[in-house]
Amino acid sequence: MPYWRFLIMMARGTMGPMIPIMRAATSRANVIRPGYDVRSIDYAMGHQVCLEEIEQKMLFSQELF
């Protein structure tokens, strides 16, 4: 697979009105299909950012470098 080195983190709030759950699932599947390595995390919140998400993004970025 040509994209094995690309790691992608997708995060979303499960109670957010902006992106329906099925659209998020379809988006994730479309990114995985060509071979990207995707880490998808759902948070019990709306369309916002929480401390747990920031911490996960920091850990994720440390894995990249």
Q: 17-65, pLDDT tens digit by residue? A: 888 889 999 999 999 998 888 999 999 999 899 999 999 999 998 887 7
**Confidence at 1, pLDDT banded by 50, 70, 90:** very low
Tokens of 57: 């993004």
Q: How far apart are CA 43 and CA 63, in angstroms?
A: 21
Residue-number span of the structural domain to which 14 is assigned: 7-64
Q: How far apart are CA 38 and CA 32, in angstroms?
A: 6
On whether residue 49 sits in a domain, the answer given is yes
On whether residue 58 sits in a domain, the answer given is yes
| pLDDT computed for residue 2 by the predictor | 52
Task: Give pTM, 2 decimals.
Answer: 0.76
In order of 53, 60, 64, the CA distances from 41 in angstroms are 9, 12, 17
On whether residue 31 sits in a domain, the answer given is yes
On whether residue 46 sits in a domain, the answer given is yes
Q: Using CB atoms within 10 A of its CB, is residue 12 exposed (0-12), middle (13-18) or buried (19+)?
A: buried
On whether residue 55 sits in a domain, the answer given is yes
On whether residue 1 sits in a domain, the answer given is no
Tokens of 8: 């992608």
- Domain total for the chain? 1
On whether residue 54 sits in a domain, the answer given is yes
